[in-house]
Structure 1
Amino acid sequence: MRGTRARRAAQAVQGLGTGAVLLAYWTTVALLARRTGGARTSDAESVRRKA
């Protein structure tokens, strides 16, 4: 039984580590996009009806 518990604990730690890495990655991407990107304007037509 001890091996099963240790394996589950290792999988939980690995999952948390993967989540932390993904969170750090997306935070970095979001901050860089906010810092380097200009205003998000497009020449596309508006989807709103014109009054």
Structure 2
Amino acid sequence: MRGTGARRAARAVQGLGAGAVLLAYWTTVALLARWSPGARTSGAESVRRKA
């Protein structure tokens, strides 16, 4: 039977693993968005009214 310290450590490791997965996902998304020719500069006119 595991003690409360071991359970707490297991939860911490699980949390770190989930954080690492999310960090890897967002890094991949950011890099793909930066490298892919996207709609960042579409050349379209702004929808703001001119003063």
Q: Which runs of 5+ in 1 are unaligned?
A: none
Offset at residue 37 of structure 1 (A): 2.9
Cα distance in 2 for partners of 1:42, 1:11 equals: 49
Report the Cα distance in structure 1 between the residues aligned to 2:36 and 2:15, rounded to whole angstroms: 31
Bigger proportion of residues as helix: 1
Structure 1 vs Structure 2 CA RMSD: 2.2
5+ residue gaps, structure 2, are: none
Q: Tell me which stretches of 4 or more aligned residues in structure 1 moved more than 2 Å.
A: 41-47
Task: Report the Cα distance in structure 1 between the residues aligned to 2:44 and 2:3, rounded to whole angstroms.
Answer: 60
Q: Within 5 Å, which residues of 2 pair with 1:1-51?
A: 3-40=3-40, 41=42, 43=44, 45-47=46-48, 49-51=49-51
TM-score (normalizing by structure 2)? 0.74
Identity %: 73
Per the normalisation by structure 1, the TM-score is 0.74
Matched length: 49
